[in-house]
Amino acid sequence: MSKIAVETFESLVTQAQAPDANQAQRHAAFGELVVRFQDMAYGYAYAILGDVHLAQDAAQEAFIAAYQNLAQLREPAAFPGWLRRIVFTRCNRLTRGRRAQEQSLETVPYLSSGQPTPLMVLEDKEMKEQVQTAIQTLPEPQRMATVLYYIDGYSQNEVAEFLEVSVDAVKKRLQRARERLQERMVEMVQEKLREQRPSRDGEFAKSVQLFSSLEATAQYSQLMSIEQMLIDGVGVDARDENGQTLLHWAALHGYLDAVELLIQHKADLDARDDAGQTPSQIAEAMGHSAVVELLRRHSKGT
């Protein structure tokens, strides 16, 4: 079965753009688009950046930007290529705007249950290094096609549509990549890419949906959909690329109702972002006195 059926994603884009639909309906449709395209967006970012964590950041930022600008997309059928260009832009922003911090391979979370032995850690580290080197030494067109094709069972047609090239071009790129990589290395690439794909659990999609829902709240003052998502188990202390939680976001904008809602759901009032600031400090700097007072009333030790 095709992972991304054309009629399905076109319909979802149309629903997400529909002016006669309510915000919850549009948000739900976009959430399904995130679920269907998350591995593709992440894989493309990883092929550019070569870093798991930066690729996750770029893909998440791209989806939020896509949600904010979806009305600008004139043809629903053009969504895959449009999303790819947004991911590319976010990758450029990450590489220009901050120094890519080196992530040791030991910090990549293990997906298997149980504690790995030292030998397993060493073997896994060596395999990750081999796979990353093999992928990054491929010419860019081959690297893009290889990562997208092997990350989660996307078809050659779907890869071609996302890259906005012909299916024949994708076939040739994959064939040339296989010729460069030994058969065992192809298997290792597929295994490791699938281990780190966002769809291995629901956290990536939930995080994007929650942050895009908060963006919608800023425009439409609708908290019910956010509350339902929190009830459904979305992490209330999810963080963005700057280490800011949902409470930081609400405090920054002075959204008192959103702050109250997040407090009710046990948000960490003392969480510090990458700059070391708490939500209360951000609210105070922005002059949101009512938010500051509310946070101080509920903070620990008061």
Give the pLDDT mean for 97-125.
43
Cα separation, 270 vs 136, whole angstroms: 40
Which range, of 8-22, 111-125, 149-163, averages the lowest pLDDT? 111-125
> Does 97 share its domain with 158?
yes
> Does 268 share its domain with 168?
no
> Does 186 share its domain with 249?
no
- pLDDT confidence of 20, banded at 50, 70, 90? confident
> Does 41 share its domain with 186?
yes
Q: Structurally, how many domains does the chain consist of?
A: 2
Q: pLDDT (tens digit, 9 = 90+) per residue, 146-197?
A: 999 999 889 999 999 999 999 999 999 999 999 888 777 888 888 888 888 9
Listed in sequence order, the residues at least 6 apart from 245 whose beta carbon sits closer than 8 Å to its beta carbon are 236, 237, 238, 239, 267, 268, 271, 273, 279
> Does 227 share its domain with 195?
no
- Give domain status of residue 124, yes or no: yes
- Give domain status of residue 102, yes or no: yes
- Give domain status of residue 108, yes or no: yes
Please tell me the predicted confidence (pLDDT) of residue 127.
59
- Give domain status of residue 130, yes or no: yes
> Does 158 share its domain with 253?
no
> Does 139 share its domain with 257?
no
Whose tokens are 């407090």? That residue is: 263
**Domain final residue pick, 170, 200, 230:** 200
- pLDDT confidence of 34, banded at 50, 70, 90? very high
Q: Tell me which residue range forms the domain holding 232.
A: 203-215+222-298
> Does 117 share its domain with 182?
yes
> Does 146 share its domain with 284?
no
Cα separation, 9 vs 6, whole angstroms: 6
Cα separation, 221 vs 208, whole angstroms: 18
For position 287, which CATH number holds? 1.25.40.20
> Does 23 share its domain with 172?
yes
- Give domain status of residue 277, yes or no: yes
- Give domain status of residue 64, yes or no: yes
Rounded to 5 degrees, φ, ψ at 179 are -65, -35
Listed in sequence order, the residues at least 6 apart from 284 whose beta carbon sits closer than 8 Å to its beta carbon are 292
Does the pLDDT at position 254 exceed 50? yes
Cα separation, 179 vs 192, whole angstroms: 19
- pLDDT confidence of 218, banded at 50, 70, 90? low
Does the pLDDT at position 289 exceed 60? yes
Q: What is the mean pLDDT of the chain?
A: 80
> Does 196 share its domain with 235?
no
> Does 29 share its domain with 171?
yes
Please tell me the predicted confidence (pLDDT) of residue 77.
92
Please tell me the predicted confidence (pLDDT) of residue 300.
59
Both tokens assigned to 270:
């003392």
- Give domain status of residue 1, yes or no: no
Alpha helices per DSSP H over the chain: 6-17, 23-49, 52-68, 79-97, 118-136, 140-151, 156-163, 167-180, 183-196, 203-220, 224-231, 246-253, 256-264, 279-285, 289-298
Alpha helices per DSSP H over 50-139: 52-68, 79-97, 118-136
- Give domain status of residue 268, yes or no: yes
* Highest-pLDDT range among 69-83, 157-171, 284-298: 157-171
